[in-house]
Amino acid sequence: MAAFVKAINAKIRAHPMLNYVCSTHFWGPVSNFGIPIAAVMDTQKSPELISGQMTAALCIYSATFMRYSLAVSPANYLLFACHFINEGSQLTQGYRYMNYHHWGGKEELAKKGELPKVDAPAEAKKLGDLVEKAKTELKK
């Protein structure tokens, strides 16, 4: 059995494309692409939901790993693309955050009557009801 696995591995590693697809240089960035996909999708949500601290942390994270992806040998261009997209998305989110919270965006929306209205006590009650329902389901 070990010889069979060794033979299959040698066959895969002999083919350059299969060797790349079976490497961490491919699967690391592919699994990491969830972060920029989520960031791009979040650009359609209300700027009220953006966390300034998390956005800043993700900007630093992506800038660091863009540099790292080119510094490793061989350079990992797929990882670079992943972090390049994330950096752009996070900078967009950072601009939206600053515009909404610090540059008058919230006040402008309030004047137009477009400020999102969230009834916090009602939302908290809904969440509490869901927790209680989940607890009773677990006890069954």
> What does the pLDDT look like over 58-90, one tens digit per residue?
999 999 999 999 998 888 898 999 999 999 999
In a domain, residue 6? The reply is no
pLDDT at residue 118 in the model = 61
Q: What is the pLDDT of residue 96?
A: 93
Q: Judge whether 24 lies within some domain.
A: no
The predicted structure's pLDDT at residue 107: 80
100-121 pLDDT per residue, tens: 988 887 787 777 776 666 666 7
Q: Mean pLDDT over residues 39-55, rounded?
A: 89
Does residue 132 fall inside a structural domain? no
Segments forming the whole domain that contains residue 54: 36-103
**Overall number of domains in the chain:** 1
Burial 52-73 (b: 16+ CB within 10 A, else e): eeebeebbeebbebbeebeeee
Band of residue 56 on the pLDDT scale cut at 50, 70, 90: very high
